[in-house]
Amino acid sequence: MINEKEEDQRSSESAKSATSSRLADDDFYRALASGRRRRLLAILFDDSESTVDELANVLTGWETTEAGTMATLDDRDRIAVELRHVHLPVLDDVGLVTYDTQTGAVRLDDVDDVVSGLISRSIEAERLSRS
């Protein structure tokens, strides 16, 4: 019979292995290469479930605020299309989100501290570079 300490250790080793495997995957880094995808993940860190429309609204506001412009409905629609057809499928493929194409629901998958820290630091570095 496995005691609780051994079970916790095995679970921890399994999580480390999954993190190592993800961090060795080129597709993972390609997914994070897009600033829009990193921002999308940052939004989901605050609220782990959303919809394509909600994400498009927040991203449109974020991007137009940084650019110092006013958002238009066309801007928001363009971002929503890109989310549906490009960004969310990429993040879903690497296991960072679950994206339901039928309902437009988006849910953050389990993201370990190493990955969330990497994304958070990249968002902060982007913000600082614009200052």
Helix (H) or strand (E) holding 51: strand 49-51
Q: Calculate the CA dihedral of residues 69, 77, 105, 63 and round it to 10 degrees.
A: -20
State residue 2's pLDDT score: 56
Residues of the chain falling short of pLDDT 70:
1-24, 131
Q: Compute φ and ψ for 107, nearest 5 degrees.
A: -135, 135
Structure tokens at 16: 């480390």
Q: Dump pLDDT digits (tens) for 19-45.
A: 556 666 789 999 999 999 999 999 999
Domain tally, the chain = 1
CATH, residue 118: 1.10.10.10
Q: How many residues does the chain have?
A: 131
Burial tier of 39 (Cβ tally within 10 Å: 0-12, 13-18, 19+)? buried
The sign of the torsion formed by the CA atoms of 10, 12, 15, 17 equals negative
Residues spanned by the domain of 119: 4-130
Q: How far is it between the farthest Cα atoms of the chain?
A: 63
Helix (H) or strand (E) holding 105: strand 105-108
Burial tier of 21 (Cβ tally within 10 Å: 0-12, 13-18, 19+)? exposed
State residue 41's pLDDT score: 96
State residue 7's pLDDT score: 62
First to last CA, the chain: 58
